[in-house]
Amino acid sequence: MLTKGIFQETLSKVVLAVAGFVLNMILARELEPAGFGVVGIILSIMFVFELFLTNGLRQAVSKILSSQQVNTKKLWRQSFFIQMGFSLGLVLLGLLVLGKVAEWLQIEQYRNLLYLILVIIPIKGLFFLNCGFLNGQFKYKQHAIANSVYSIFRLAIALVLLYTTGNGVLAVLVGTLAAFVLSLFFTKMEWTNNDSTVVVTNRYLLDLTWGALVFYLLVNIFFNIDVLLLRGLGMTEASVGFYKASANIGSLLYFLFISVSQASYPMIARLFTRQAWDELSSLVNKLFISIYYTTALAFLFTMLFSDVIISVLFGKPYLPATGVTPWYALSIGMLSVIIMLGNMMIVFEHKKTYLYYLVGSLVLYLIMVVALIGKLEIFTPPVALITVSILINILFIAIINRHYNRIFAVKTLLLIVGWLILMTVVALVIHHFLASVIDPHLSGVLVFVAFSLVSLFTIRQVREAVFNSVSVLMGKKK
């Protein structure tokens, strides 16, 4: 069930990523780097506001539904009032600060359009609340369809508005709003356990929500604040546009890992509730090895072919960003590991002290960006994120292993990560040599294929995961 759920969720993220890519490619070509940079800035502002709604309550209801027999209608009513309360607070906050934010980022001409974000907030909050219910009830297919419908509607509406108005910011914001409204019709709830006497108190629901909300708020600040920092610290709109193009490629990896996190979250909650430690350990170690392996593949692939990808998808004016792409992909892979670890903390209802460590890592990230921006320029955010992600990964794994039956096979994980690093370095050295003898892109293809085959047949867990996935796709396993 989990493997099929991951495939369905991944498929929806592929639709989201492809739709987003198409939209960003067209925006990049129609608006040029400076205009595209402004769109990236405004989208980052919108993401910051939406962080309070897309996560937190969604994880709380998913955990409850996957591990307890509760009256779903009563739980939904409780959750709805909480989500709308968050929405109202965000709308009031937006009315107070959006004008000043526009002045700080020097985009005053878009001030009125920024207020569309406040209309999007409650609609998106309701959509993600319903998605939390679908996820907690293991309705992966319906969850995937709802997300795919949103992606397709957003692309279609935004493109129509772009070509009719010529305004990229208006197109993206209105397209997002209309897509969320339409996709709500695909998140229809199924009310179950009407006779259940299990009581979920508001205090318990809010406590789960609070931990998940703060965690995902901090994680998504890492993911979205880079564009705002680059602009706020003096980088030009064109430079932000270059960075945004590179980041869009790295975001594919993020969408993939979010699929894994969302699909595995309710299963981890169920196994934890049943105290099935051996099954839980096996599951999380396989998931983490898969993330490390995929991150290594993405880093090597973008290191070899980022110039081709950037020029084909966004055009030659964006080639100054090619060097950023592999490091951004690596930073997203490391951030995704933090998300998996945080999901486990939320499921285990661990004391909230781990959030303080994440706050500390965010402070360190900001300090590094401010200190290094003059030397590294647009390379600064991914370098800083890789550094703090490695530190927080080590700390979180140590905390979980100390409190919960040593779930992680640390020695195995270290050996596999070390082997992936060694193979990556060797692959890049071989490519450097071959590129001086044959066509660099042909060399890249040969090196990448060799890396994939060697890693596949030397890492048992990866080989088993691939063969199991193929069996599921062919219908031999459920």
Range of the domain at 276: 2-408
Residue 463 belongs to some domain of the structure: no
Instruction: Say yes or no to pLDDT of 334 above 80.
Output: yes
Residue 468 belongs to some domain of the structure: no
The arithmetic mean of pLDDT across residues 442-465, rounded, is: 87
**Tokens describing residue 180:** 């969320």
Q: How confident is the model at residue 51, as a pLDDT?
A: 67
Residue 126 belongs to some domain of the structure: yes
Residue 17 belongs to some domain of the structure: yes
Residue 170 belongs to some domain of the structure: yes
**Tokens describing residue 144:** 């995937």
6 — pLDDT class (breaks 50, 70, 90) = low
Report yes or no: 318 and 28 within 8 Å, Cβ to Cβ: yes
Report yes or no: 295 and 333 within 8 Å, Cβ to Cβ: yes
Question: Which of 162-176, 241-255, 274-288, 301-315 has the least mean pLDDT?
Answer: 241-255
2 — pLDDT class (breaks 50, 70, 90) = low
The C-alpha atoms of residue 477 and residue 230 are separated, in whole angstroms, by 48
Highest mean pLDDT among 49-58, 222-231, 252-261, 450-459: 450-459
Residue 71 belongs to some domain of the structure: yes
Q: How confident is the model at residue 190, as a pLDDT?
A: 81
430 — pLDDT class (breaks 50, 70, 90) = very high
One DSSP character per residue, 184-239 reads: GGG-------TT------HHHHHHHHHHHHHHHHHHHHHHHHHHHHHHHTT--HHH
| Crossing angle between the packed helical segments 57-67 and 324-348, to the nearest 10 degrees | 50
Instruction: Say yes or no to pLDDT of 174 above 50.
Output: yes
The number of folded domains in the chain is 1
Q: How confident is the model at residue 367, as a pLDDT?
A: 92
Q: How far lies 382's CA from each of 323, 354, 363, 378, 379, in Å? A: 11, 23, 15, 8, 6
Residues 193-220, buried b or exposed e (16+ Cβ, 10 A)? beeeeeebeeeebbebbebbbbbbbbbb
296 — pLDDT class (breaks 50, 70, 90) = very high
Residue 363 belongs to some domain of the structure: yes
The arithmetic mean of pLDDT across residues 1-18, rounded, is: 67
417 — pLDDT class (breaks 50, 70, 90) = very high
Share of the chain above pLDDT 90, in %: 15
Q: How confident is the model at residue 39, as a pLDDT?
A: 78
The C-alpha atoms of residue 336 and residue 329 are separated, in whole angstroms, by 11
Residue 451 belongs to some domain of the structure: no
Instruction: Say yes or no to pLDDT of 432 above 80.
Output: yes
The C-alpha atoms of residue 252 and residue 314 are separated, in whole angstroms, by 15
Tell me, what DSSP letter sits at residue 38? H
The radius of gyration of the chain's CA atoms, rounded to the nearest angstrom, is 22
- 122-156, pLDDT tens digit by residue? 898 889 888 888 888 878 788 888 888 888 999 99
Highest mean pLDDT among 169-173, 219-223, 309-313, 452-456: 452-456
The arithmetic mean of pLDDT across residues 290-319, rounded, is: 84
Q: How confident is the model at residue 473, as a pLDDT?
A: 44
The C-alpha atoms of residue 170 and residue 470 are separated, in whole angstroms, by 43
The arithmetic mean of pLDDT across residues 357-380, rounded, is: 89
